[in-house]
Structure 1
Amino acid sequence: MRAGKPVPACVKASPRRPGEIGRLRVDGRFAKVLSATVPIPSNGPFASALVPEDLDELYAQELNAIGKVSAPQSLDRPHRGLVQLLKQEQRRRDKAAESDWSCDHPKFDTPLGKRRLRIFNALFLALSKRGHAGDAYDQDGEIHARAVIGDTYLGLDIVIVGSHRTERQQGYVRPAPDLPASTPLALRLDPGFDRKATLTWQDDGDSKLESKIAAVAAATIVAGEKKFRQSLREAEERAKREQIEQERRRQEHLAQLNQQRLQNLRTSGELLRQAQDIRALVERVRRAIDEGSVEIDCATLEAWQQWALAEADRLDPVRSGQIMTHLDEPSI
């Protein structure tokens, strides 16, 4: 269909955005026609038309681009990262209307649960203004969330600050459902999903988390870029460790091959001695017959001699080829 028509111009690569790896992933079957490019070096440069080299400059750039952010007071128009969780909540709500079982009730219909969802929603919407994303899901009655900065994932968590009343719900200790929405909260950024927060924002005085969404979003974008840069260093260190381990295994295998070569050499010597002993015995018997000290029928002697020499040849490491097991120096 395209025969004889102009070849379309090559698509220009978009500038690398924060958190992106700067590479395109293609199916492995293209390896025959496309050579894989190396990652960005861990020492940079990292700058692109959209990412300054300095992370402080990146923060200022993103904060300015995000601008003023207002947290919606409702979830009527949720970010797509919350849609699935809200649908689950609605299904529970519908089921609870026909059931008395507490396990059928919505899990985040409390004042504090709704506020958590509104904060995540505001943050995800702010990130989407800069081409990033986020999502949240329910696990064991808790909201688990993450930010997606380019190709980099960061954990997010909203926890209650200070002591508070709790209740045991379905085997888990959870905040009391009647805690007011004004209960102090803290939003924590957990880049490694290992509960080791690197940045934390919280309600303090008259300043609520909702008023800090722009700063949280900008810092999250910077954290995504920072984690990406760190991942390059970690990948290089991992590759170096793997190379060292591979060389260790190679040397270990080589030592085993050399040990086997030495054993094969000793075996050759032993086989050669056995072959020579048999040939010497045959010769000694023939001399004894010639000297008249032994009388053996000629046909019997000839048959025995052929059998004995054949056995000697079978044992002989040169004639049998056993010597080839240690002739060449081992290599991998």
Structure 2
Amino acid sequence: METYTRQQLHDLVWSGPMRDVSKKLGLSDNGLRKHCVKAFVPLPPQGHWNKLKAGHKVKTTPLPPRPPGISDAISIGKWDYRENNRRLMEAEPVPPVFDEPIEALRERVARNLGVVVASKSLSPPHAAFRRQVEDDARQATQSRWHTPIFDKPIEKRRLRILQGLFHGLSRLDCWATVQGRETRTISIGVGHQSVWVALERVEQRRRSSDEKEIERLKFSIRKGYGDDGDRISWMDTDGQPLEAQLSTIAAEIIVVGEMQYREHLEWVHNDAVRRREKMRQEEIRRKLEAEKAERERRIKLEADRLKRLTDSAENYQRAQAIRDFVSTIVALPAKDIDPERIARWREWALAQANNLDPIANGRIWDDVNDSA
């Protein structure tokens, strides 16, 4: 797997025809085009290279700024665990750098987003929750036991706020997904990130029994899916309902998408540093164990050589003792023993001595050669 930045991929696709560039990268034309579209990298228009070959002037579309939540890294090829670890050990991970401060991004997003207002009507409902609304209305007509969910004023208001928010966010290519029969699981797609949000009714305590209960809504950007914590939240107030805060909310959703992307890169970097240190410590441990095993092997080898030396010396002495003994016996006067028997015994005894003698049998030279 090779990883390219958006700028590197832009330079590649504008360096030659798509079929040539895709071949270099091991991709099909369509595969390379998909990578470019996903990374918001502009492609040369049809006929660009023919015009250039014919001598016409052509313009290169510059690379636009990275949209919020979009990754700046494009990975092409098959991921290989061993190759990834090898590269990780060769070079220390580089921490991510972000040129645009979050506050500057927030201002740019707010400027490009414009004013976001709640929908005045739910006709038709937004595609993100249209199925839930239609199913609820159909069940109400089919069964008198079904209590409609979205007939309540607070629920209608809630959906109008969501619908206006979704339409506003779509101006910057964000998408919305709403799950659950009561439309309580909501995520906003910001680039390659999913931002989980919630819009719920807030229970308000009445100061007295005569005072009318006020139904208020609270909009929250969650820390993650299924997480009980909020990153940031807004609530209806007497002077400013949520409808008046939708522009700020929409901009902050996109900013949070970018923040999630940056936090992910920080996590990836920290994880790479941790894994590299773990592999480095593992490599040190393996080297220490190998050195220990080598020391133990040498100690055992030296002990074996010493034993062979002492055994050879003892065998040499035993062989010499046998030879001296045989000489003494042969020199004695024979008493009713056939000389041939004595000769055969002498030959056998000296053969045993030669088998024991490391010099006579040549085993001493093996020991000498091992010590070289």
Determine the C-alpha separation between the residues in 2 that align with 1:298 and 1:101.
116
Once the two structures are TM-superposed, the CA of residue 217 in structure 1 deviates from its matched residue by 0.6
* Candidates 295, 301, 312, aligned match of 2:352: 301
| SS class of match (2:176) | strand
Would the aligned equivalents of 2:315 and 2:356 in 1 still touch at CA under 8 Å?
Answer: yes
Determine the C-alpha separation between the residues in 1 that align with 2:258 and 2:184.
25
Determine the C-alpha separation between the residues in 2 that align with 1:268 and 1:223.
66
Which residue is 1:200 aligned to? 233
* Candidates 37, 56, 66, aligned match of 2:103: 56
Q: Look up the equivalent residue of 1:301 and give its one-letter code.
A: Q
Which residue is 2:322 aligned to? 289
Q: Does 1:231 align with 2:278?
A: no
Q: Look up the equivalent residue of 1:184 and give its one-letter code.
A: R
Determine the C-alpha separation between the residues in 2 that align with 1:317 and 1:227.
71
Q: Look up the equivalent residue of 1:44 and give its one-letter code.
A: F
Once the two structures are TM-superposed, the CA of residue 20 in structure 1 deviates from its matched residue by 1.6
Which residue is 1:189 aligned to? 221
Which residue is 2:170 aligned to? 128
Aligned 1:71-110 pairs, distance under 5 A: 71-80=118-127, 82-83=128-129, 86-87=130-131, 90=134
Aligned 1:107-122 pairs, distance under 5 A: 111-122=153-164
Deviations 1:250-304 (A, max 9, x none): 2222222222222212221222233223323432332122111697835973896
Which residue is 1:169 aligned to? none
TM-score, structure 2 length as denominator? Answer: 0.59
RMSD of Structure 2 on Structure 1 (CA):
4.6
Would the aligned equivalents of 1:115 and 1:181 in 2 still touch at CA under 8 Å?
Answer: no
| SS class of match (1:72) | coil
**Gap runs ≥5 in structure 1:** 46-52, 165-179, 324-332
Query: Percent same amino acid at aligned positions?
Result: 20
Determine the C-alpha separation between the residues in 2 that align with 1:153 and 1:237.
22
Determine the C-alpha separation between the residues in 2 that align with 1:64 and 1:74.
26
Aligned 1:306-317 pairs, distance under 5 A: none
How has the CA–CA distance of structure 1 residues 298 and 181 changed in structure 2, closer, same or farther, with 3 Å as cutoff? farther
Determine the C-alpha separation between the residues in 1 that align with 2:255 and 2:368.
70
How has the CA–CA distance of structure 1 residues 270 and 210 changed in structure 2, closer, same or farther, with 3 Å as cutoff? same
Which residue is 2:96 aligned to? 42
Determine the C-alpha separation between the residues in 2 that align with 1:258 and 1:247.
16
Q: Does 1:23 align with 2:67?
A: no
Which residue is 2:295 aligned to? 262
Q: Does 1:155 align with 2:211?
A: no
Larger Rg computed on CA atoms: 2
Would the aligned equivalents of 1:89 and 1:106 in 2 still touch at CA under 8 Å?
Answer: no
| SS class of match (1:292) | helix
Determine the C-alpha separation between the residues in 1 that align with 2:186 and 2:132.
15
Would the aligned equivalents of 2:201 and 2:217 in 1 still touch at CA under 8 Å?
Answer: yes
Would the aligned equivalents of 1:70 and 1:122 in 2 still touch at CA under 8 Å?
Answer: yes
Q: Name which structure has the greater RCO, CA cutoff 8 Å, separation 6+.
A: 1
**Gap runs ≥5 in structure 2:** 1-18, 21-46, 53-59, 206-211, 330-344
Would the aligned equivalents of 1:19 and 1:228 in 2 still touch at CA under 8 Å?
Answer: yes
Q: Look up the equivalent residue of 2:215 and give its one-letter code.
A: T
TM-score, structure 1 length as denominator? Answer: 0.65
Deviations 1:147-187 (A, max 9, x none): 222222322122332458xxxxxxxxxxxxxxx99621111
| SS class of match (2:172) | coil
Determine the C-alpha separation between the residues in 1 that align with 2:195 and 2:164.
17
Q: As a proportion of its length, which structure holds more helix?
A: 2
Which residue is 2:283 aligned to? 250
| SS class of match (1:231) | helix
Aligned length: 283
Determine the C-alpha separation between the residues in 2 that align with 1:218 and 1:146.
15
Would the aligned equivalents of 1:154 and 1:189 in 2 still touch at CA under 8 Å?
Answer: yes
Determine the C-alpha separation between the residues in 2 that align with 1:195 and 1:257.
50
How has the CA–CA distance of structure 1 residues 232 and 292 changed in structure 2, closer, same or farther, with 3 Å as cutoff? same
Determine the C-alpha separation between the residues in 1 that align with 2:149 and 2:278.
49
How has the CA–CA distance of structure 1 residues 284 and 224 changed in structure 2, closer, same or farther, with 3 Å as cutoff? same
| SS class of match (1:253) | helix
